[in-house]
Structure 1
Amino acid sequence: MKIEDDIRNAVEVLRKGGIILYPTDTVWGIGCDATNAEAVKRVYEIKRRDDSKAMICLVDSSNRIQRYVRNVPEVAWDIFDLATKPTTIILDGATGLAPNLIAEDGSIALRVTQEEFSKQLCYRFQKALVSTSANISGEPAAQNYRDISEEILNAVDYVCWARRQEHKPHTPSSIIKLSPAGEVKIIRE
């Protein structure tokens, strides 16, 4: 399948409130429209995860961050621009996202993907995309397509074709929490 067709199919499912499996700049992810509370609820159910545990969202560019965070600390732009590996930033003042995706303290975890497929997917979808590891909560993250359990594969509405043959190590992103004043706290290196 051509990448364009794969992305078109995934976006169509996302726009209908569906759940997809897709390769990201880190591990394989379960994704949905980050503004759709019902879709987000389904992702929590698929992962068997408590909805008090926030999930990461992917966007295609740092410009899109401003759509989902009221006041982005200046240092966030530097981190997004200078990061040498996938880096997720937890920012306060989340807005415009599904309420069940926003942490109890009002924050949201966002990452600008640089990987070709997920970047194009986010760009074509034109919204933030939930990106949580394709596994049941507490189990190892699916580094490659072949690591995804049958249970997860059967629970989603569309499985992307891109990078299914790939077999190489992938690791989750670094996670940094920024306070509104720009104080940096490293959550995961």
Structure 2
Amino acid sequence: METQILKKDQINQAVEFLRNGDLVAFPTETVYGLGAIATKEESVKNVYKAKGRPSDNPLIVTVSDENMMKRYAKFVPERAEKLIKHFWPGPLTLLLLVKEGSLPDAVTGGLKTAAFRCPNDELTHELISKLGYPIVGPSANTSTKPSPTTAEHVYHDLKGKISAIIDGGATEVGLESTIIDLSVETPIVLRPGQITPEELSEVLGEKVLINTGKVSDKAIPKAPGMKYRHYAPSAPVWVVDDVNDFEKIDFKSDTAVAALDSVLAKLNLPVENKFSLGKDLKDADHNLFSALRFFDDEDEIKTIYVQGFDEGEKSLAYMNRLNKAAAGHHFKK
């Protein structure tokens, strides 16, 4: 299969691919997603195959607006209405109860809930609106690898496995959306993202919990990112929590570092062994996956040290992704 790169004036071609049951990668403000019509079970199953994704890992349902979501949600609670009004379109995913039989088990994992998101991207909004159906939207990468933030990243992982990639340029946010579970008594963030629990709590006027538990091997997670290892390059990743500890690392020619410019400037390492995360945490959010992908393509790199952050809820999403990439390994000297 030849994977085509489509420009913004080729959306109609992408629509036809999807209608024919093919897979199309699409841009969002967070990361690139891998699309198939959410109601076509065979197409959805092909998403799992293309990614090498475990079949018990539910998929996000990407919609063009609230009205499309209402065709599948059992009901839309007042909490959801508040969050939609404030954050949609945007990097927020809502977990709601769904109408029985409205979505295939390949989407829901056989659960009574589904995660809905309306991304803030004009190309994807046009794509779904013209299609008339929601599409699933897991990250358009090989499962366990860093999520893609450019069309080139998608092509690297999925060329020959999908029909097309809509090139919308580099993503703005760089980390996947916040997922909040509204199917339970007290709202709980299942996956942190750019929108923090504090911001959600302010809009809802009530406490929002943060999931800290692990999903057992036999259980089906309610949302992506809760059970399996993600975001990992081939080389081992170590989190460096204290920037002063970078000076204690025994750097070798096969060692790489991803950190802020202020940290990199103090390290005696070749330029090719450094990757800038930018000037602050916001930049680091945007650049983390690019850093992990950059060194994943360098066969001679055997260890990657990445700067950690402790800035409260603002760094939750970054540290969530980094800890998964590092399998929880933190550098201590």
Give the TM-score taking structure 2 as reference length. Answer: 0.52
Residue in 1 aligned with 2:39? Answer: 35
CA apart distance, 1:154? 1.6
Q: 1:93 aligns with which of 89, 98, 101?
A: 98
Larger radius of gyration: 2
Larger RCO (CA within 8 A; separation ≥ 6): 1
Q: Deviations over 1:60-82 (max 9, x none)?
A: 11111110111221211111111
1:2 Cα deviation after fit: 5.9
Following the alignment from structure 2 to structure 1, what is the Cα–Cα distance between the partners of residues 67 and 106? 24
SS at match of 1:154: coil
Correspondences of 1:59-74 after superposition (within 5 Å): 59-74=63-78
Residues 29 and 171 in structure 2, CA contact (< 8 A), matched pair in contact too: no
Identical residues among aligned pairs (%): 28
Task: Give structure 2 stretches of 5+ with no counterpart.
Answer: 1-5, 193-333
Matched, 1:186 2:192: no
Partner Cα distance (1:167, 1:120) in 2: 17
1:121 aligns to 2:127 (yes or no): yes
Q: Deviations over 1:28-60 (max 9, x none)?
A: 111100000000000001111111110111111
Q: Which residue of 1 aligns with 2:59?
A: 55
Confirm or deny: 8 A CA contact 1:71 1:180 kept in the other structure: no
Query: What displacement does 1:168 show?
Result: 5.8
**1:2–1:100 distance in 2 versus 1, CA, 3 Å:** closer
Letter in 1 for 2:138: T
The 1:65/1:167 distance shift into structure 2, 3 A limit, reads: closer
Partner SS state of residue 171, structure 1: coil
Amino acid at match of 2:135: L
How far the C-alpha of 1:186 sits from its partner, in A, is 0.6
Residues 84-163 of structure 1 mapped to structure 2, 5 A cutoff: 85-94=90-99, 95-160=101-166, 162-163=167-168
Deviates more, 1:140-149 or 1:113-122: 140-149
Deviation at 1:151, TM superposition (A): 4.1
CA contact (8 A) 1:20 1:156 kept: yes
SS at 2:11 equivalent: helix
Aligned with 1:133: secondary structure? coil
- Structure 1 counterpart SS, 2:160: helix
TM-score norm. by structure 1 comes to 0.89
